[in-house]
Amino acid sequence: MRGIKLQEYEEITIVEMRKYHPIAKVRERAHAIELLNMGIKRIEVAKTLKRRKDTISKWTVSYNEYGIAGLFDEKRSGKPREVTDEIKDKIVEIAE
């Protein structure tokens, strides 16, 4: 399986996503890509992130195929949110 070798602009984007993206899953996947780009083996990345090696491989394939878009989940069907974004923002504001 091909590893990850990011261009400088991609590295900057991945680091910023790892630090600041509002979705935890995306931050975690960006972290994995960042570690792989640093030359850390998949098995070590899996141990660091407490994930299976197969999961890291899946994220790698997705990133190699789709780039940044590969870090996001596909839209799923299901019950709509009961909490609106407005209410969610208010909850976060109160919690802070």
Record the pTM: 0.76
Residues in the chain: 96
Rounded to whole angstroms, how far apart are CA atoms 83 and 94? Answer: 15
Residue 36: the pLDDT is: 96
16-50 tens-digit pLDDT: 999 999 999 999 999 999 999 999 999 999 999 99
pLDDT at 30: 97
pLDDT for residue 14: 96
Task: Output 41-50 pairs: Cβ under 8 A, ≥24 positions apart.
Answer: none
**Which has the closest alpha carbon to 29: 88, 8, 13?**
13
Q: What is the mean pLDDT of residues 60-82?
A: 86
Kindly indicate the confidence band of residue 2, based on its pLDDT and cuts at 50, 70 and 90. low
